[in-house]
Structure 1
Amino acid sequence: MKEENQHSISEELMFRYFSGDVTPEEVSAIKNWSALSSENQKLLDDTGIFYTDVEALSYLKKNKQAFDTDNAWEKVKFKNNIKGHDKRKTIKLPVSTLKYAAGLAILLMGIWFFIQKDNENIISVTAQDQVVEKLLSEGSKITLNKNSSISYPDKFNKNQRTVSLKGEAYFEVQSNPNQPFVISTQNTTIKVLGTSFNVSSEEASDSIVVTVDTGMVLFAANDQQEKLTPGSIGIYLKSKDLLYRKNTPKTITHDFWRTKTLTFSSVSLGEAIDAIEKTYNTNIQLSDTKLNSCKISVVFQDEELENVLDVIAATLHLEVENQSGQYILTGNGCD
């Protein structure tokens, strides 16, 4: 009877337990069984060590992270002379094999972690109080806004080029259809083949915004995704777990931090004021609501805020007042 209790859970099921290939019911059954006795717990622990042995051997032999559970189980059956194909059959692993596995696993895990560490040489670039440009080895260029950072492996794998972003950056991606460029930021990913676009992903902000200048971008969050092309932007609202696309505003300010350029082409004064407030982080009021409809066309290149407002005022015959840091535009309008 004692022998039956020890083997009410098969080694095959325990092996699948350590590989993650089990149902919630099977996990519960294994935990309940192991709690019945110290002998059961020891057998579970020994099986875990043996699984680690097989997984490490597979990694060293094939040099890849993916692990085939069925193939590994075949190795277990071969090493322990397990006959037949019924995976539900209960058979006890020889103690000598488990002791060998325990010792070998310690050695192999040391080698395995050394290989993992060697393969994961991560490069980090941080922009603190100034904009930083980084040219990657494959030709892509990344411009980091202040207080932003990126990290990436020193050598991309052959399937994709993966970069992690914190903050805001502008990407000019070298085209390579066989090796997509993937950006990971918070709970979202941006996948491209070759294009230029801006990603704003501030920790303190509720939104992550992707603005495309050229090419096409696949913006994804959880089970949602949007294809973005020039003329559209993607917005992910973290608080609502909502991803959506909308048309790019007439006045584009997403990369002012990089280009220092503001372009207004026959836009309303109201739209221009909104863009200037966002760009310069200031507050501007119009003395009369009818001023909102006045049209303006002008390009500002790396100008101070006061100069921008002075040019707009002179163009539309307005006056500028500065009242304790708040700017007010006054006048009769443009009719």
Structure 2
Amino acid sequence: MKDYQFFGVDDFLEDAAFRQWVFSPLLTDNEFWNRWLAEHPEKEAIVSQARQQLLEIKGTLQPLSENYIDQKVMQIVQQAQMLNDSAEQSLPVIRRLNPTWYYMAASVALLLGIFWVYRAQQKPELAPVAYTQLIKTAKQPLHEVANTDNSPKTVMLPDGSTVVLYKNSRISYPKQFATITREVYLTGQGFFQVQKKPDQPFLVYASGLVTKVLGTSFFVKAYEQDKDVLVTVRTGKVSVFAHTDKQAAMQKAVPELGGIILTPNQQATLVRADKRLVRSLVAEPQRVDGPQKLTTSFVFKQTPIANVFAALERAYGVHIVFDEELMANCTLTARLDDESLYKKLEWICAGTESSYEEIDGQIIITGKGCQ
């Protein structure tokens, strides 16, 4: 389950489960959020502000005619049916959902699409910034290390943190970090393992992105000739925001994480062509449950589906959203030890007449329930 206690307003605005609760709450959504707010009263003001902003966004969108919405929904339905028919040819074990669920899924997709178009118009341009320009902004003299070899090169930073520098990569950093923040500048690709110092945030400047951490491990890939800039989290939690963000100065200075929050197996991609920042899951999510890997078994015998999804969340650190009430009668009998996360999800969905998709770094399950 996602840890909402560290969320700010922007994090709630970008969270799919929170948006569902605001726009089209299910009974289980109301129960969860009412219980969560009762347990975290200090977050009531932030949640209220995020909820109000969402409602205002919905209210300020230009009205769409019923005919226009119907046409758009039908287009999405037709596309979904074509994709599903194609999928059935390659995976005959997965059965098609009934048309009612296509219509509901398409309606949600249309609403979220309108929301994200609006949000994109409000965000600052994520213009890439060249490495030579970035290092000119440094407040301290910098020492540079470059790697032109084929083999990765490990660099020890002044605070004991390390970065594995890959081929054709360079990193610049001061000989002694400032007392408030630890700042480094990267071009190319590096894997960082950062010493935990909550009162002294660690900042990586790469192209148009700033990656902020308190102590964790993550990859940054920011070759200037590549189409995209990529930040991928291995362990812990990081935040990513635009170098040109109006609130960037404040986000750098305070200990708390802001911007887009990434957790293990999530990544943020700066798409240079569109100047937009996208959060998603990595292509091959890895186990994050540490020593428990040796004892955790994915052998299920008539196991309630909620318990199955909970086991996946613990193992991979990925948030799975589904209608607990609708799928309350669904169970699974299967052995899924060796499969990847996505293969596990395919088998689970095949056994429960449901489907999944990855949205904003989360897994969304859609199904009609089980008798």
TM-based fold match above 0.5 = no
The structure with more strand, counted as a fraction of residues? 1
Identify which of structures 1 and 2 has the higher relative contact order when contacts are C-alpha pairs closer than 8 Å and 6+ apart.
2
State TM-score, norm by structure 2.
0.35
Normalising by the residue count of structure 1, what TM-score does the alignment of the two structures yield?
0.39
